[in-house]
Amino acid sequence: MSELHHMGLAELAAGLRARRFSSFELTETFLKRIEASQGALNAFISVTREAALAQAAAADRALAAGTGGALEGVPVAHKDLFCTKGVRTTCGSRMLDKFVSPYDATVVAKLKSAGAVMLGKTNMDEFAMGSSNETSYYGPVRNPWDPRLVPGGSSGGSAAAVAARLVPGATATDTGGSIRQPAALCGITGLKPTYGRVSRYGMVAFASSLDQGGVLTASAADAALMLREMAGFDPNDSTSVEREVPDYVAELDAPLAGLRVGLLQEFFDKGLEPGNEQRIRAALKVFESLGARLSEVSLPNLPLSVPVYYVVAPAECSSNLARFDGVRYGHRCEKPRDLTDLYRRTRGEGFGAEVKRRIMTGTYVLSAGYYDAYYLKAQRVRQLISADFTRAFTGVDVLMGPTTPTPAFPIGAKTSDPITMYLNDIYTIGANLAGLPAVSIPCGFVSELPVGLQIVGPHFSEARLLAAAHAFQRATDWHRRIPAGYA
Amino acid sequence: MALTREQIESIAALARLELTAEELPVYQDSLSRILEFVGALERADTASVTPMAHPLPGLSQRLRPDVVTEQDHHAEYQQNAPQVAAGLYLVPKVIE
């Protein structure tokens, strides 16, 4: 039997059901790995050791009785923006440093009822605003492939944890690339589902028309299992879609032959590093050898996706984060003179620099006299980008291209200029603006750092994306590579 | 477009954010650069385009029946409040 932490989520679920090992043993194994790596990676904000072991013991009883869910006894971690009842939920912010959620997010509740054991809450950029995990109040997460480098963000803790095999699967969220970009920089599989596929109830809101919960796992097969258990209609989320969840696991082996793949011309631009491009082109050859038919596709409005995003996302952020008032929950300043002073100092102290920057950008673009020029204009261009995708999908089944322009970059390299940092998400933001599902899978290395290939599909095509990714992973072994020191 | 120091102060006041003297010039610089960056949108021809209202075509916000579904959780929720007394949230005096 291979070592427990080398097994993926799906393999672990099967091993538990066959009673080859216990959930208690498995949970202890991963908890020890988390604790041993915390100083080096800082991937977790909270580790819920005792609750995890108690949950594991209960899972073992269920497994012994032949009952339990599809993930019975399998350890998972949650990004610290999913509310977890009775467990601190910080969103990476001083504002919520002491916040203990009174309820479970729907995603958390669903995974719990499927039998998953929560090991803890992962580090993240503050309020999910960042692409490098450097804006966290709890300090940066380090990339397990090289601790001098960022893991990507905002779901950097979840990505680093899965890459270092501290946990076989973790929840994450993606507003402009926050699942796919860290998946690429950490060499793992990350799926952002269609907008509305996974409930946003209990996810701390950043930009409500873009936010979507998803999964980070080693492989597409693991992602299929985890997503199947997480997805579905939720009356508590008014944008949740009433639509049946396919059995993503059963559809993994759908044949790839004849798949029409569009290569996104706009993604092979001058910003793409030559080493990354080579790995992407090599991966496309693999798809071709598996029977995919490649053609070039152009989405002319796509280059405007970053400017659209940096109007729409801050606008929604400034509205959503208005709830942090120092009155009902969260940080409160000392000795306020009056109510305005209470609001201003509470928010000035509780939010970090990037969050304040986005709140102010959003406030400006929504303010009287600027709303039409910025916000409405951006929502019009967003419509053009969405129409570009719709048109592209009349001729191809999926779109492929790089997830990021470069491999992981050094901690501190892009913190002085927000625009440089924002441009990191240049290839990922389009899918959020159009509400489309997209997956990033590892497809090789440049200077010993992982490179991610992105596959984008039409709305609700998660099964197709996962089957394509799975076919690639059956033909390659990039997704099995584990960083030195964590093997 | 370059924002003035006064504009930054007014945005911060609208957003209820206290900024330090050191923070003001930093945001003046970065917000100006962000606005210049998003200014690229002006070039797009959107004369006949309806602004997007929902990321999924044809869908709009769902409504639910107007029935009570929640119980009273206020004691539980107030455990996270900075200051409460007799079940009420305390704030500085608003009306003299």
The CATH number that applies at residue A442 is 3.90.1300.10
**pLDDT (0 to 100) of residue B42:** 94
pLDDT at A416 over 90: no
The residue among A332, A334, A381, A385 with the most chain B CBs within 10 A of its CB, best to mutate, is: A381
pLDDT at A306 over 80: yes
Q: Choose one of A354, A381, A408: the last residue of a domain.
A: A381
Is residue A67 located within the same domain as residue A178?
yes
Count of CA atoms in the C-beta half-sphere (13 A) of A285:
7
The span from the CA of A199 to the CA of A52, in Å, is 24
The residue among A94, A243, A363 with the most chain B CBs within 10 A of its CB, best to mutate, is: A363
Is residue A377 located within the same domain as residue A404?
no
pLDDT tier, A205 (very low <50, low <70, confident <90, very high otherwise): very high
By Cβ distance, the residue of A235, A327, A377 closest to B46 is A377
Q: What is the mean pLDDT of residues B66-86?
A: 93
**pLDDT (0 to 100) of residue A424:** 86
Is residue A254 located within the same domain as residue A353?
no
Q: Choose one of A324, A355, A381: the last residue of a domain.
A: A381
Residues from chain B that touch A383, judged by Cβ atoms under 8 A, are: 46, 49-52
Between chains, do B38 and A307 touch, taking CB under 8 Å as contact?
yes
Could you read off the pLDDT of A75-87 as tens digits, one per residue? 999 999 999 999 9
**pLDDT (0 to 100) of residue A76:** 98
**A431 contact partners, CB below 8 Å, separation of at least 6:** A192, A437, A438, A456
Domains observed in chain B: 5-43 (1.10.20)
Domain that holds residue A373: 303-381
Residues from chain B that touch A209, judged by Cβ atoms under 8 A, are: 54-55
Structural domain contains residue A134: yes
Structural domain contains residue A341: yes
pLDDT tier, B26 (very low <50, low <70, confident <90, very high otherwise): very high
How many Å lie between the alpha carbon of B31 and the closest alpha carbon of chain A? Answer: 7
Q: What is the mean pLDDT of residues A328-352?
A: 97
Is residue A187 located within the same domain as residue A48?
yes
Between chains, do A345 and B18 touch, taking CB under 8 Å as contact?
yes
Q: Choose one of A381, A415, A434: the last residue of a domain.
A: A381
**pLDDT (0 to 100) of residue A347:** 98
Residues from chain A that touch B37, judged by Cβ atoms under 8 A, are: 306-307, 310, 419, 422
Between chains, do A336 and B31 touch, taking CB under 8 Å as contact?
no
Is residue A458 located within the same domain as residue A408?
yes
pLDDT at A48 over 80: yes
Assess contact for A256 and A471: CB atoms under 8 A.
yes
Q: What is the mean pLDDT of residues A120-136?
A: 97
**Nearest chain A residue (CA) to B44:** A381
Whether the complex's predicted ipTM surpasses the cut of 0.90: yes
Between chains, do A364 and B35 touch, taking CB under 8 Å as contact?
yes
The span from the CA of A390 to the CA of A280, in Å, is 24
pLDDT at A236 over 70: yes
pTM: 0.97
Q: Find, among A145, A161, A71, the residue nearest to A107 by Cα.
A: A71
The span from the CA of A187 to the CA of A279, in Å, is 13
By Cβ distance, the residue of B11, B16, B50 closest to A364 is B11
Could you read off the pLDDT of A49-79 as tens digits, one per residue? 999 999 999 999 999 999 999 999 999 999 9
Q: Which residues of A are catalytic?
A: 79, 154, 178
Structural domain contains residue A290: no
Is residue A339 located within the same domain as residue A442?
no
Is residue A421 located within the same domain as residue A312?
no
**Nearest chain B residue (CA) to A373:** B42
pLDDT tier, A249 (very low <50, low <70, confident <90, very high otherwise): very high
The span from the CA of B38 to the CA of A304, in Å, is 9
**pLDDT (0 to 100) of residue A430:** 98
Q: Find, among A180, A197, A261, the residue nearest to A430 by Cα.
A: A180
Is residue A145 located within the same domain as residue A82?
yes
CA dihedral of residues A305, A230, A224, A157 (deg, nearest 10): 60
Residues from chain A that touch B30, judged by Cβ atoms under 8 A, are: 357, 418
**pLDDT (0 to 100) of residue A78:** 98
Count of CA atoms in the C-beta half-sphere (13 A) of A429:
25
Is residue A97 located within the same domain as residue A185?
yes
Structural domain contains residue A359: yes
In sign, the C-alpha dihedral spanning A228, A145, A440, A174 is positive
pLDDT at B60 over 80: no
How many Å lie between the alpha carbon of A363 and the closest alpha carbon of chain B? Answer: 6
Counted domains in chain A: 2
Is residue A181 located within the same domain as residue A232?
yes
Could you read off the pLDDT of A143-196 as tens digits, one per residue? 999 999 999 999 999 999 999 999 999 999 999 999 999 999 999 999 999 999
pLDDT at A1 over 70: no
Structural domain contains residue A111: yes
Structural domain contains residue A293: no
Structural domain contains residue A292: no
Could you read off the pLDDT of A353-366 as tens digits, one per residue? 999 999 999 999 99
Assess contact for A37 and A5: CB atoms under 8 A.
no
Is residue A242 located within the same domain as residue A187?
yes
Is residue A252 located within the same domain as residue A330?
no
pLDDT at A209 over 60: yes
pLDDT tier, A412 (very low <50, low <70, confident <90, very high otherwise): very high
